[in-house]
Amino acid sequence: MRSAVKEDADRKYASAEGIEARFAIRKTQLARMRQANSGPPFVRVSYRKVLYKVSDVEAWLQALPGGGAIS
């Protein structure tokens, strides 16, 4: 089984499953945010696969009102 977090030089990328495990944001919620053009930045690497830069997700969470609380 592959790891949900991928190393790319000095950057870490995570799949929706990896973000779900690390930050407790459901992957279905991430998908809804992608469709609404909200949420953390992501990179679409194929038709079905998106990756998130972990540091971008952390920064996005800190920028939320309440410092990262997601409802």
Tens place of pLDDT per residue across the chain (71 aa): 455 555 544 459 999 999 999 999 999 999 999 999 999 999 999 999 999 999 999 999 999 988 766 76
pLDDT in the model for residue 68: 67
pLDDT in the model for residue 66: 80
30 in any annotated domain: yes
Minimal CA–CA distance to 8: which of 53, 61, 45? Answer: 53
Domain count, the chain: 1
Strands 11-15 and 5-8, by their bridges, are: antiparallel
Full domain range(s) for residue 56:
5-63
Separation between Cα atoms, residue 13 and residue 16, nearest integer Å: 10
pLDDT in the model for residue 10: 47
* Largest interatomic CA distance in the chain: 36
68 in any annotated domain: no
E strand intervals along the chain:
5-8, 11-15, 43-44, 50-53
pLDDT in the model for residue 17: 96
